[in-house]
């Protein structure tokens, strides 16, 4: 009887030991998995932090490079402005009483005929004169003037199609994207002498006196300033109504004329 009880107790102890062992094994596996996952999480976090630090570093390098480029560009623009001011000051000291760009280059007079495109003619002619004044005759402006004759009148306000043609044919589209509207008369003269024609717009009254259709639906007319004369106190303006109009296609507009809507100078013309 005693042996049976003893064996039973021994069996129970053995079973308990086995259960405890199994529990310990399970606990060990669980702890191992927890520790291993924690290690993986830590490694992943470290990797993410490293990647974030690299992204931040690259971003800082990019920002520093961009800031450096901006500063270099600003410095370049500053130097160009200083050089331009020096050129203007030199010109001012020897500013002639009269000036005519036709004394240096040949300037053809265009004819817009009945097309409502005076602005385009003036802008394109200004660019042509500016480039020719620099000795650049690489662009075929004749085909541009011919093209304008083929554009329907209703397309006058559609800058996209015309600009697209200009870009494809002669490499530029908008001429006066950054015009300088705030120059004094003496500065405008300096622009002219440096080879940059001006764009001038006169009002409806002046246009009608020039011979424009008084019944037309327009507010003014655009011309190109190619010279000046202090004795006349006037700008020499090139029109786009053919060489038989006015004085070989030109007209004088007084410096302080109340009919001037605007007069602007090219910011830059690249060769």
Note whether 127 and 175 are within 8 A (CB). yes
Which residues in the chain land under pLDDT 50? Answer: 176-178, 269-271
Average pLDDT over the chain, rounded to whole?
A: 82
Instruction: State the angle between helix axes of 118-133 and 142-150 in degrees (0 to 180), rounded to the nearest 10.
Output: 170
Q: Is 141 helix (H, G, I), strand (E, B) or coil?
A: coil
Residue 25 lies in a domain: yes
- Residue range 150-163, pLDDT digits in tens: 877 666 556 656 66
89 and 110 belong to one structural domain? no
Range(s) of the domain holding residue 181 = 96-265
Phi, psi at 223, each rounded to 5°: -135, 175
Cα gap 158→162, rounded to integer Å? 7
CATH classification of the domain holding 251: 3.90.70.10
The position carrying tokens 């003014």 is 220
Question: Model-level pTM?
Answer: 0.63
5-21 residue pLDDT tens: 676 777 777 887 788 88
Domain-ending residue, one of 79, 94, 109:
94
For residue 266, give the nearest of 133, 100, 156, 102 by alpha carbon.
133
Clarify whether residues 149 and 170 are in a common domain. Answer: yes
Residue 110 has a pLDDT of 93
Phi then psi dihedrals of residue 205, to 5 deg: -60, -45
The answer to whether residues 175 and 144 belong to one domain is yes
Any domain includes 271: no
In a domain, 270, yes or no: no
Answer yes or no: is 101 within a domain. Answer: yes
């Amino acid at each position: 009887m005693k042996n049976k009880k003893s064996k039973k107790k021994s069996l129970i102890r053995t079973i308990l030991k086995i259960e405890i062992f199994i529990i310990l094994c399970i606990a060990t596996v669980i702890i191992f998995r927890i520790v291993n996952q924690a290690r993986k999480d830590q490694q992943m976090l470290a990797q993410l932090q490293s990647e974030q630090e690299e992204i931040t570093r690259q971003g800082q390098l990019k920002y520093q490079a961009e800031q450096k480029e901006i500063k270099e560009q600003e410095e370049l623009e500053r130097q160009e402005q200083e050089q331009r001011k020096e050129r203007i000051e030199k010109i001012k000291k020897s500013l002639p009483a009269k000036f005519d760009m036709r004394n240096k280059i040949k300037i053809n007079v265009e004819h817009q005929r009945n097309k409502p495109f005076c602005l385009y003619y003036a802008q394109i002619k200004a660019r042509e004169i500016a480039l020719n004044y620099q000795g650049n005759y690489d662009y075929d402006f004749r085909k541009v003037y011919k093209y304008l004759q083929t554009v329907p009148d209703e397309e006058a306000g559609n800058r996209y199609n015309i600009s697209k043609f200009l870009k494809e044919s002669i490499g530029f589209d908008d001429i006066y994207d950054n015009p300088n509207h705030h120059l004094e008369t003496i500065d405008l003269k300096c622009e002219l002498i440096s080879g940059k024609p001006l764009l001038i717009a006169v009002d409806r009254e002046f246009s009608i006196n020039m011979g424009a259709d008084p019944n037309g639906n327009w507010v003014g007319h655009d011309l190109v300033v190619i010279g000046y004369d202090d004795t006349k106190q006037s700008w020499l303006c090139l029109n786009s109504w053919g060489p038989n109009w006015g004085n070989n296609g030109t007209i004088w507009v007084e410096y302080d004329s109340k009919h001037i809507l605007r007069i602007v100078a090219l910011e830059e013309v690249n060769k």
